[in-house]
Amino acid sequence: MKPRHQRMIAITAGVTLIAVAAALVLNAFQGNVVFFFSPSQIAAKEAPLDRTFRVGGMVEKGSLKRRADGLTVEFVVTDTAKTIPVVYSGILPDLFKEGKGVVAQGKLGPDGAFHASEVLAKHDENYMPPEAAHALSKAEAEKAAKSVVSPGGS
Amino acid sequence: MIPEIGHFALIVGLALALAQSALSLTGAARGIPGFMAAARPAAQGLFVFVAIAFGCLAWSFYSSDFSVLNVANNSNTKLPAAYRIAATWGSHEGSLLLWVLMLSVWMLAVSVFSRSLPEDMVARILGVMGLIAVGFLSFMLFTSDPFERLLPAAAEGHDLNPLLQDPGMVFHPPMLYMGYVGFSVAFSFAIAALLDGRLDASWARWSRPWTTAAWIFLTIGIALGSFWAYYELGWGGWWFWDPVENASFMPWLIGTALIHSLAVTEKRGAFKAWTVLLAIIAFSLSLLGTFLVRSGVLTSVHAFATDPKRGIFILCFLAVVIGGSLTLYAWRMKRVAPGARFELLSRESMLLANSVLLLVACGAVMLGTLYPLFLDALGLGKISVGPPYFDSVFVPLMAPAILLAGIGPLIAWRRGDLAQLLRRMRWLAAAALLGALLVPLAFGRWGALTSVGLLLASWIFAGTLAALIIRIRSNAKMNRAFLGMLLAHAGIGVFVIGVTLVKSYESERDLRMAPGDTATLGGYSFRFDGVREVSGPNYAAARGAVLVQRDGETIARLAPEKRVYLVQRNPMTEAAISAGIARDIYVSLGEAVDAGGQNAAWTVRIHVKPFIRWIWFGCLMMAFGGLLAASDRRYRVPAYRREDAALADATVLRSGAA
CA distance A56 to A135: 7
Mean pLDDT is highest, among A62-66, B49-53, B505-509, B632-636, for B49-53
Three-class secondary structure of residue B591 per DSSP: strand
| Chain A stretch 49-108, residues whose beta carbon is closer than 8 A to a beta carbon of chain B | 54, 66, 69-71, 89-92, 94-95, 103, 105
Q: Verify that A3 and A66 share a domain, yes or no.
A: no
Q: CB–CB of B344 and A10 under 8 A?
A: yes
Domain total of chain B: 4
Q: Verify that B181 and B310 share a domain, yes or no.
A: yes
In DSSP notation, chain A reads --HHHHHHHHHHHHHHHHHHHHHHHHHHHHHHEEEEE-HHHHHTT-S-SSS-EEEEEEEPTT--EE-TTSSEEEEEEE-SS-EEEEEEESPPPTT--TTSEEEEEEEE-TTS-EEEEEEEE-SSTT---HHHHHHHHHHHHHHHHHHHHSTT--
Q: Which of B578, B494, B499, B620 is nearest to B223 (CA)?
A: B620
Q: Verify that B185 and B272 share a domain, yes or no.
A: yes
Q: Verify that A79 and A112 share a domain, yes or no.
A: yes
Q: Verify that B30 and B161 share a domain, yes or no.
A: yes
Q: Verify that A76 and A143 share a domain, yes or no.
A: yes
Q: Verify that B473 and B511 share a domain, yes or no.
A: no
Is B592 part of a structural domain of the chain?
yes
Domain of A13? 1-33
Is B617 part of a structural domain of the chain?
no
CA distance B627 to B50: 27
Q: Verify that B29 and B152 share a domain, yes or no.
A: yes
Q: Verify that A74 and A128 share a domain, yes or no.
A: yes
The residue in chain B having the minimum alpha-carbon distance to the alpha carbon of residue A73 is: B593
Q: Verify that B183 and B154 share a domain, yes or no.
A: no
Q: Verify that A16 and A56 share a domain, yes or no.
A: no
Residues pairing with B512 in the sheet: B603
Q: Verify that B171 and B292 share a domain, yes or no.
A: yes
Mean pLDDT of the region A126-143 = 67
Q: Verify that B172 and B147 share a domain, yes or no.
A: no
The residue in chain B having the minimum alpha-carbon distance to the alpha carbon of residue A8 is: B344
A115 lies within 8 A of chain B by CB: no
* pTM, to two decimals: 0.90
Q: Verify that A60 and A9 share a domain, yes or no.
A: no
Residue A120 CA: distances (Å) to CA of A117, B308, B314: 10, 23, 28
CB-based contact A60:A16 (threshold 8 Å): no
B343 lies within 8 A of chain A by CB: yes
Q: Verify that B268 and B187 share a domain, yes or no.
A: yes
Is A154 part of a structural domain of the chain?
no
Q: What pLDDT is recorded for position B612?
A: 95
Q: Verify that B354 and B482 share a domain, yes or no.
A: no
pLDDT exceeds 90 at position B6: yes
Is A112 part of a structural domain of the chain?
yes
Percentage with pLDDT > 70 across chain B:
93
Q: What pLDDT is recorded for position A124?
A: 47
Q: CB–CB of A21 and B388 under 8 A?
A: no
Residue A50 CA: distances (Å) to CA of A43, A114, B129, B237: 16, 11, 53, 27
Q: Verify that A8 and A53 share a domain, yes or no.
A: no
Q: Verify that A54 and A81 share a domain, yes or no.
A: yes
Mean pLDDT of the region A53-79 = 88
CA distance A59 to A86: 10
Mean pLDDT of the region B47-67 = 95
* Per-residue pLDDT reduced to its tens digit, B240-260: 898 888 999 999 999 999 999
Is A77 part of a structural domain of the chain?
yes
Nearest to A35 among B356, B383, B397 (CB): B383
Q: Verify that A86 and A129 share a domain, yes or no.
A: yes
Q: Verify that B264 and B218 share a domain, yes or no.
A: yes
Q: What pLDDT is recorded for position B634?
A: 80
Q: How confident is the model at residue B642 (pLDDT cuts 50, 70, 90)?
A: very low
Q: Verify that A59 and A116 share a domain, yes or no.
A: yes
Q: Verify that B43 and B60 share a domain, yes or no.
A: yes
Is A13 part of a structural domain of the chain?
yes
CA distance A78 to B394: 37
DSSP character at residue B446? -
Between residues B657 and A53, the one the model is more confident about: A53
Is B310 part of a structural domain of the chain?
yes
CA distance B557 to B546: 6
Integer distance in angstroms from the first to the last C-alpha of chain B?
Answer: 52
pLDDT exceeds 50 at position B645: no
Q: What pLDDT is recorded for position B643?
A: 45
Q: Verify that A48 and A21 share a domain, yes or no.
A: no
* Per-residue pLDDT reduced to its tens digit, B543-571: 999 999 999 899 999 999 999 888 877 78
Is A79 part of a structural domain of the chain?
yes
Instruction: Kindly report the nearest CA distance between residue A152 and chain B, in angstroms.
Output: 32
pLDDT exceeds 70 at position A130: no
Domain of B119? 1-165
- Indicate which CATH number applies to the domain containing A73: 2.40.50.140
Is B92 part of a structural domain of the chain?
yes
Domain total of chain A: 2
Mean pLDDT is highest, among A72-86, B90-104, B613-627, for B613-627
Q: Verify that A81 and A102 share a domain, yes or no.
A: yes
Nearest to A70 among B349, B512, B571 (CB): B512
